[in-house]
Amino acid sequence: MTTGLWIALDHVVAPLSVAAWFAAGATLALRRARPALAVLVAAVLVTLVRVVTVAPAGCAGRSHVETGDPRLS
């Protein structure tokens, strides 16, 4: 995959991650422990997916900055 595709995928996953964390907090604020735990697990999983989408794009950009070689990005 190209760096652009990783970034596009991250733009899809990032709002899902934010929504999951807000849902976990709201569910816990309503004192719904079991649903809050389920949403918390979902939020952690979506966050891990986001790490997987950000890492390749970040590594490609970092190598370009370190070497100054545009062929690496």
Q: Alpha-carbon distance 15 to 57, whole Å?
A: 18
Give the per-residue pLDDT at 65: 47
Above 90 in pLDDT, residue 30?
A: yes
Confidence at 72, pLDDT banded by 50, 70, 90: low
Reading the block at residue 33, the tokens are 């422990």
pTM (2 d.p.): 0.72
- List the structure tokens of 49: 């997916």
User: CA-to-CA distance for 44 and 17, rounded, in angstroms?
Assistant: 8
Parse the chain into domains and list their residue ranges: 3-72
**Looking at residues 50-70, what average pLDDT do you find?**
68
